[in-house]
Structure 1
Amino acid sequence: MNRSVIFDSPFLLGFEQTRALVERAAKAAESYPPYNVEDRGDGRLRITLALAGFAPDQLEVTLEDRQLVIAGRRDGQPGKDEDAYLHRGIAARGFVRTFVLADGMIVDGALLQHGLLHIDLAQPEPERHVQRIPIRTAG
């Protein structure tokens, strides 16, 4: 695995976990299903995945340790024989799509509408903390 030069700076301390997140996100380069990420302003984002033919009970959206995972499974359609298709351009396979979220980002909800799965995210403004460190003297 290639090591990112930017995180090797001596001024960036404690960013090993961030490096791991960047490397994990780089591995998730699969192109199915297609998706959009939309900036909705005020720290809000919307991820939209094109999921034609998926029912809500075939989809699962989970959030674990800042990783948003969207998974879909296809159980095959009863009475549909693979040989019946003259052309099959709509993918009928399962998938797992992952997104790594920034600290503090929350998932507001998910909506399946007209073959599109919309996942709304928000990142509230973090509180600013200034901590004064007392200086002790020796002796």
Structure 2
Amino acid sequence: MTKVTFASHPYLLGFENLDRLVERTVKTGNEGYPPYNIEQRDEATYRVTLAVAGFAEEDLTITVESNQLVIRGRQKDDEGERIFLHRGIAGRQFQRSFVLADGVDVTGAHLENGLLHVELKRVEPESIVQTIKINGKSS
């Protein structure tokens, strides 16, 4: 049985990557931690904000891998230094992934009041008109 997807439409040529992108997005394994917001600031800019209370700058890494924004957090182990009578503040490691469209670039990030802000900008590609010369019979 053939798997039917939106990219299998006959007018959509070369969009097979979109199917893989959707599958990868579903499989990112993002749980509910840490909570996050996504804002559209204007027509071309976005902001992803993660609540990372207790994480220092050196505990966080931000990378872009194959059009995927990956934010990881890992706090240093200090279990031997403190004795908790109650531990209600989550400090576990995490990984959050966001798939970026072509032309969306990360322009910066900053940590403020326990919130990690990652700034994104969509760069519009130039419109190029190309004329194809017909050379006759192909061999």
TM-score of the pair, normalised by structure 2? 0.87
CA separation of 1:4 and 1:63: change in aligned 2, threshold 3 A: farther
1:15 counterpart = 2:3: no
Distance 2:123 2:69 in 1: 17
Secondary structure in structure 2 of the residue aligned to 1:41:
coil
Aligned to 1:70: 71
- Taking only aligned residues, the RMSD between alpha carbons, in angstroms, comes to 1.7
Aligned to 1:125: 124
Structure 1, 5-14 or 119-128: larger mean CA deviation: 5-14
Aligned to 1:97: 96
Distance 1:90 1:20 in 2: 36
Aligned to 2:6: 6
Aligned to 2:82: 80
Secondary structure in structure 2 of the residue aligned to 1:127:
coil
The answer to whether the 8 A contact 1:4-1:19 is kept is no
Distance 1:35 1:4 in 2: 33
Secondary structure in structure 2 of the residue aligned to 1:25:
helix
The answer to whether the 8 A contact 1:74-1:92 is kept is yes
How far is the alpha carbon of 1:136 from its aligned partner? 3.6
Distance 2:74 2:53 in 1: 12
How far is the alpha carbon of 1:4 from its aligned partner? 5.9
Q: How many residues align?
A: 133
Distance 1:97 1:19 in 2: 21
Structure 1, 45-54 or 57-66: larger mean CA deviation: 57-66
Structure 1, 66-75 or 9-18: larger mean CA deviation: 9-18
Distance 1:107 1:136 in 2: 43
The answer to whether the 8 A contact 2:5-2:19 is kept is no
Structure 1 regions of 5+ residues with no counterpart? none
TM-score of the pair, normalised by structure 1? 0.87
Structure 1, 108-117 or 126-135: larger mean CA deviation: 126-135
Distance 1:13 1:125 in 2: 21
Amino-acid identity (%): 49
